[in-house]
Amino acid sequence: MQKINEPLARFCYFKNLQTNVWEPLNFIVWQKLSSGKKIASALIYSGKCLYFGFVCVTGAANRIITIYDGISAVGTEIEYFVADANKPTDGHSHADPVICQKGIYAAIPGGGETVVVYYYPI
């Protein structure tokens, strides 16, 4: 039986996109970190981390937001999203986070979009 004040944790596995292997993360309790508001392409985090998704406040036209496992736009593409100008707020969230080996880079075309990326270093 769990005591009331104990933190919740679970045994987790996450798929490594580089090796296509499920990796154990043992018992882990995490809080998602926020990149803060980004209005242009930016390095979100450098190093191994979990990618949870993003929220986008759209601009005047449909734009493509691309998230990479890497420190620049030449890394492995992990998310490709068309931000719809008809939706004031859009985005994508992963039920199970994606392991990024090298870091997270967000390619944001500019034009009024504001993007916030959620991640956690591991």
Q: Higher confidence at residue 118 or residue 113?
A: 118
Residues 58 and 110: beta-carbon distance below 8 Å: no
Query: Which tens digit of pLDDT belongs to each residue from 18-74?
Result: 777 776 665 455 578 899 999 999 999 999 999 999 988 877 778 888 999 999 999
Give the mean model confidence (pLDDT) for residues 113-122: 90
Closest CA to 104 of 82, 59, 73: 73
d(CA 36, CA 39): 10
Residues 84 and 62: beta-carbon distance below 8 Å: yes
d(CA 44, CA 71): 8
Confidence of residue 91 (pLDDT cuts 50, 70, 90): confident
pLDDT of 6 > 60? The answer is no
Residue 1: its pLDDT value, please?
37
Q: Higher confidence at residue 43 or residue 81?
A: 43
CATH fold of 33-121 reads Jelly Rolls (2.60.120)
Q: Which residue has the tokens 């270093």?
A: 121
Token pair belonging to 65 = 């937001």
Q: Where are the domains of the chain?
A: 33-121
CA distance to 79, 84, 85, 103, per residue, from 91 (Å): 11, 10, 12, 20
Percent of the chain clearing pLDDT 70 (strictly above): 79
Residue 12: its pLDDT value, please?
61
